[in-house]
Amino acid sequence: VVTLKRELNASDIARIAGVSRSTVSRVVNNYDNVTEETREKVLKAIEKYNYVPRASAQMLAGKKSKILGLFIVDTKSENYTVTTSSYFSPFMSGVIDEANKKGYKILTMVINNESDFISAKELFYNRTISGGVFIGCNNNEKHVMDIIRDEYKVVVLEQESGTNHFNKAIIVNSDSYGGAYAATKYLIELGHKRIAHIAGDERHWTAIGKLKGYKKALEDAGFPLDEDLVVKGNYTLESGLRAVKELLQNNKDLTAIFVANDTMALGVYEALEEMGIKIPDDISVIGFDDIEVSKYLRPALTTVKVSLLKMASISINNLIQAIDEESNYSVYYNIPVDIIIRESCKKL
């Protein structure tokens, strides 16, 4: 096993190939004003000495970074967010695949607190990344607005559109309102009358949309709105567990629960099992997201599927386009969702 010292630069290659540095650069960058003959010579030298131009030198000389940031913000837990919430995992996967396809690399950061936000900003300011995607942040998050204000390229997921705070950003939302409306309507059509809702934190735009959709479906069905039937969680399993207990204390008669995400539904399953309440015989449960475990639960969880993979590819493609075109217009997507009917809801 021979140890190769890899310290050659463009000048070395130039000397070896008997051309100038600029010609090497032209070959490396595939310019067409180079004779086939010259190109061959240079290519051979590059090949032979395994020459790869340094990214930092290329960037300093004017090329854009081929790295994109993926920022997963979760200010609830201090650690291991990606594990904690299997919601993020498919999105990350989609982002990585889509970016790699296009020759970009993904740098991932988990943001738990203020100082993480500062580090994230620095990646834009010091030009490590050419753009970034934020998922999981509060509506109108200040730090993200700062970055957009400074004209960096960013896509934000699940944000209110139409406010001029985000007038230079790419917004990609799932149809929380529509999904919630459909889920609630589905329960109503199954004959349920006392339908509860375990909501998310209202700082999240999705939580607001889901609550609205739930209320509208009730209203359209002519049901009175009972505020006792709505209790707030924060998208964690534990909060779902607590919420359902609180709910059942005040509402002995509820027959169905629309839970704002599957992770909280996991907590609902746990609490109900503990209390000896059967799903769906005693209480029907419908979730949101369709995370991986949902189909393995017994009874399998009926839920509203969010196409994280599609959202990922839309995010990345728009981001790359904005970077390539050096454009800064605003775009807004609202991705439809689907009800996945499994076993956790019963007809009354």
Partner DNA sequence: TTGTAAGCGTTATCAT
Partner DNA sequence: ATGATAACGCTTACAA
Residue in 79, 253, 276, 281 binding a copy of itself, rule: CB under 8 A: 79
CB of 2 to DNA, least distance (A): 22
43 touches a copy of itself by CB under 8 A? no
Separation CA 310–CA 54 (nearest Å): 34
Q: Is 290 in contact with 303 (CB distance < 8 Å)?
A: yes
| Residue number, 92 or 320, with CB nearest to a copy of itself | 92
CB contact set of 323 (below 8 Å; sequence gap of 6+): 64, 130, 131, 153
274 touches a copy of itself by CB under 8 A? no
Instruction: Give DSSP secondary structure letters for 284-336.
Output: EEE-SB--GGGGGSSSPPBEEE--HHHHHHHHHHHHHHHHHHT----EEEEE-
326 touches a copy of itself by CB under 8 A? no
Distances (CA, A) of 131 to 155, 172, 201, 250, 316: 8, 15, 28, 48, 10
Residue in 17, 27, 75, 94 binding a copy of itself, rule: CB under 8 A: 94
128 binds, among a copy of itself, DNA, none (CB under 5 to 8 A by kind): a copy of itself
Residue in 15, 58, 108, 138 binding DNA, rule: CB under 7 A: 58
Separation CA 161–CA 167 (nearest Å): 8
| Residue number, 41 or 102, with CB nearest to DNA | 41
CA 174 to chain centre: 10
Interface with a copy of itself (CB under 8 A): 1-4, 6, 50, 52-57, 59-60, 65, 67, 79-83, 86, 89-90, 92-94, 96-97, 100, 105-110, 116, 119, 122-123, 125-128, 149-151, 164-165, 266, 292-293, 296-298, 309
Residues that bind DNA (CB under 7 A): 7, 9-11, 18-26, 28-29, 33-35, 37-39, 51, 53-54, 57-58, 60-63
